[in-house]
């Protein structure tokens, strides 16, 4: 973690912090005021630059992450070092897999990067772990969040295993333009390959095919969608 981003403690407005914690942690009202104070005192705002690694490899149990702005991408590394995206988290989401030491039944590790410039609140994992061990509401909340990510991973797995690649790429392009409302996607083929769990060559070939069909136009470092209806047709939505 890039600790240079950690604000000094006296900069934190504790009341504002409590409001954020209460919003995201559904067990907040089931905590004693002592436990609330303990969490507040052990939560730190941290900023990450787009593309920066937040969790993965050696940095084992970084803590519970509350996403304030930006977004995170969780992935695993494939055989040849390709990244296979499992799911993305957006503001309001809570990331518990960054603190897998809290969850006794989690025996795998994932990588987490900042998808955009992001502001997070990080709850210290030792403190959280300690509280969860003595409070069933916290333990259940953590397991429940992990189960939600299980659903995300199953979706990604089905995409990777079963969907033909034209569908997968069309689905990705539709997701991207629906996310920010623009018909332009500012990503390289290499970046898209990482997101869809494929190789750059495969992405380039399919995009070229889409371009030849008048579905997209390709520019350096970007793609413009010309025929959204056709993409929806490929995915099987219409």
Binding site for a copy of itself (CB under 8 A): 57, 76-82, 84, 103-108, 136-137, 139-140, 143-151, 153-155, 157-158, 160-165, 168, 193, 197-199, 201-202
- Categorise residue 185: left if φ over 0, alpha if ψ from -120 to 50, beta otherwise: beta
**Structure-block tokens of residue 226:** 């010309």
Indicate the residue among 114 and 196 with the shorter CB distance to a copy of itself: 196
SS3 74: strand
Q: How far apart are CA 235 and CA 170, in angstroms?
A: 6
Question: In whole angstroms, how close is the CB of 156 to a copy of itself at the nearest point?
Answer: 9
Q: Work out how close the CB of 106 gets to a copy of itself at its nearest, in angstroms, rounded to a whole number.
A: 6
We find the least distance from the C-beta atom of residue 98 to a copy of itself, in angstroms, to be 15
Please identify, using beta-carbon distances, which residue of 140 and 191 lies nearer to a copy of itself: 140
Supply the minimum distance, in Å, between the C-beta of residue 177 and a copy of itself: 22
How far apart CA 210 and CA 226 sit, in angstroms, is 10
Q: What angle do CA 162, 163, 169 make, to 5 degrees?
A: 145
Q: How far is the CB of 47 from a copy of itself (least distance, A)?
A: 26
Compare residues 66 and 102 and give the one whose CB is closer to a copy of itself: 102
Structure tokens at 12: 């934190």
Q: Of the two residues 177 and 199, which places its CB atom closer to a copy of itself in the complex?
A: 199
Q: Which is nearer to a copy of itself, 11 or 58 (CB)?
A: 58
**Cα 203 from Cα 127, distance rounded (Å):** 44
Residues 22 and 43: their CA atoms lie apart, in Å, by 13
Contact 232, 238 (CB under 8 A): yes
């Amino acid at each position: 973690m890039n600790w240079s981003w950690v604000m000094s403690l006296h900069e934190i407005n504790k009341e504002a912090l409590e409001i954020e914690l209460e919003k995201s942690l559904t067990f907040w009202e089931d905590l004693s005021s002592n436990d609330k104070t303990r969490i507040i005192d052990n939560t730190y705002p941290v900023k990450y630059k787009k593309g920066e690694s937040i969790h993965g490899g050696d940095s084992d149990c970084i803590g519970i992450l509350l996403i304030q702005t930006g977004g995170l991408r969780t992935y695993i590394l494939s055989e040849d070092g390709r990244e296979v995206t499992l799911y993305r988290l957006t503001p309001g989401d809570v990331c518990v897999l960054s603190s897998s030491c809290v969850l006794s039944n989690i025996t795998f590790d994932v990588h987490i990067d900042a998808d955009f410039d992001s502001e997070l609140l990080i709850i210290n994992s030792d403190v959280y772990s300690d509280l969860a061990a003595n409070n069933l509401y916290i333990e259940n909340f953590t397991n429940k969040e992990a189960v939600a990510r299980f659903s995300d991973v199953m979706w990604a797995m089905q995409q990777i295993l079963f969907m033909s690649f034209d569908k997968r790429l069309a689905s990705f392009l539709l997701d991207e333009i629906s996310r920010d409302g623009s018909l332009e996607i500012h990503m390289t083929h290499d970046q898209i390959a990482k997101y869809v769990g494929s190789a750059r060559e495969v992405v380039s070939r399919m995009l070229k095919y889409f371009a030849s069909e008048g579905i997209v136009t390709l520019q350096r470092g970007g793609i413009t969608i010309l025929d959204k209806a056709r993409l929806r047709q490929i995915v099987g939505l219409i």
